[in-house]
Amino acid sequence: MQILFKDTGKIRFDKWLAYKFPEKSREFFNHNIKNGKILLNKIIVKPSIKLQINDEIDIDDKIFEQFKVELLPNKTIKLKIVFENDDFAIIDKPAGLLVHPVKADDNNTLVNALIHKWPKIINVGDDPLRPGIVHRLDKDTSGLMIIVKNQLAFKSFKIKFQNHKVQKIYMALIYGKLKNKSGTINTPIARSKNKFNHRKITLDNSGKEAITDYEVIKEFEKTSLIKAYPKTGRTHQIRVHLSSMSNYIIGDNEYGSSRINKKYNITRQFLHSTELIFDYKREKYHFISKLPKDLSTWLKQFEQVD
């Protein structure tokens, strides 16, 4: 197997491989790099070497032959099910819950809860570590998600997302005020070359189209409550777009302002998936989730601070 590295130039070789193949540990890749089973630009290197853009990685496929993905059900994670039928379910994900494992021993994710609730979902999808998952929310983003319960439904929803036939609406509290009370942010997004798994806006050909509509719901002295309507599905899209205009999402530790976050003392990003709208089998569905208690409580405090 050969991989052309396109992510970032500031991550260890073994660490990136463990991220790319979460079913295997960093120690596994460390061992195989040292034994020459994984080469970098055709030579044996140290596992600690930092990767560079366009590095060539050659992996001996035989090192994976004895491996089988095993996800463990977790009955301790409670699911808030908004709706379900034979084909899909709508859940209201709490903040702080990862959607799927990012390393082999992750058993406290949404996926682990799903396979306990619906065991047959283990075979649904095109990624063995993401059964039933057709879209995702960041760990600290709360709100509505579609969970797919069989392969035909998975293919149907996958096409819907590819064709932008699922409308997702988010509620966010941002710093400052927007010049226009409604509008569109149309700026391409690319991977950062300086920080692993980080995104940035770009005006060159390295970026992918990213479009976010927005609407101001309420303004305070120094913050604004908005609805965001992503028209494309780029990673961290809403957070990156708002950050690019210095209208940071309050509480966003990745793309926000530490000074602003410290002022408001919020422990997670104020971003909530509040509505999902789509058609399925000639029926229209519209689901709504109110702000969870932590965000509604913080909103009242922000009103007092402002």
Least confident interval from 5-9, 82-86, 105-109, 161-165 = 5-9
Written as six digits, the tokens of 24 are 């295997």
Residue 164, phi-psi category: left (phi > 0), alpha (psi -120 to 50), beta (remainder): left
The stretch 47-73 carries a mean pLDDT of 83
Q: What per-residue confidence (pLDDT) applies to 95?
A: 96
279 in catalytic set:
no
Q: What's the domain range around 33? A: 2-64
Q: Which residue has the tokens 């979902």?
A: 121
CA distance linking residue 185 with residue 269, whole number of Å? 20
9 against 102, higher pLDDT: 102
284 with 299, same domain? yes
**What is the mean pLDDT of the segment spanning 170-189?**
95
Using alpha carbons, list the distances in angstroms from residue 20 to 91, 101, 119.
Answer: 27, 12, 26
Indicate whether 227 and 301 sit together in one domain.
Answer: yes
- Determine the average pLDDT of the residues in 232-258: 93
Confidence band of 26 (pLDDT split at 50, 70, 90): confident
Kindly report the backbone phi and psi dihedral angles of residue 108, in degrees, each rounded to the nearest multiple of 5, phi listed first. Answer: -115, 50
Is 98 part of a structural domain of the chain? yes
Q: What is the mean pLDDT of the chain?
A: 90
Q: Is residue 74 part of a domain?
A: no
Beta strands 283-288 and 38-40 are unpaired
Residue 68 has pLDDT above 80, yes or no: no
The CA distance from 66 to 104, in Å, is: 15
Q: Which residue has the tokens 């922000």?
A: 302
Q: Which of 7, 14, 92, 138 is catalytic?
A: 138
Whether 186 and 147 map to the same domain: the answer is no
Q: With respect to residue 289, please indicate whether it lies within any of the assigned structural domains.
A: yes
17 in a structural domain: yes
User: In this predicted structure, what is the pLDDT of residue 255?
Assistant: 93
Which domain-ending residue is among 35, 64, 93? Answer: 64
Average pLDDT over residues 208-218: 95
What is the average per-residue pLDDT within 8-23?
Answer: 81
pLDDT of residue 102: 72
Q: Report the percent of the chain where pLDDT is more than 70.
A: 93
| Cα angle for residues 140, 161, 110 (degrees, 5° grid) | 35
Secondary structure (DSSP) of 14-72: HHHHHHHSTTS-HHHHHHHHHTTSEEETTB---TTPBP-TT-EEEE-GGGGTT----PP
Say whether both 47 and 122 belong to one domain: no
Domain with residue 253: its CATH number is 3.30.2350.10
pLDDT band at residue 305 under the 50/70/90 scheme: low
So what's the pLDDT on residue 44?
Answer: 95
Residues of the chain with pLDDT > 90: what percent?
66
Directed axis angle between helix 13-20 and helix 26-34, to 10°?
A: 130
214 lies in the same domain as 292: yes
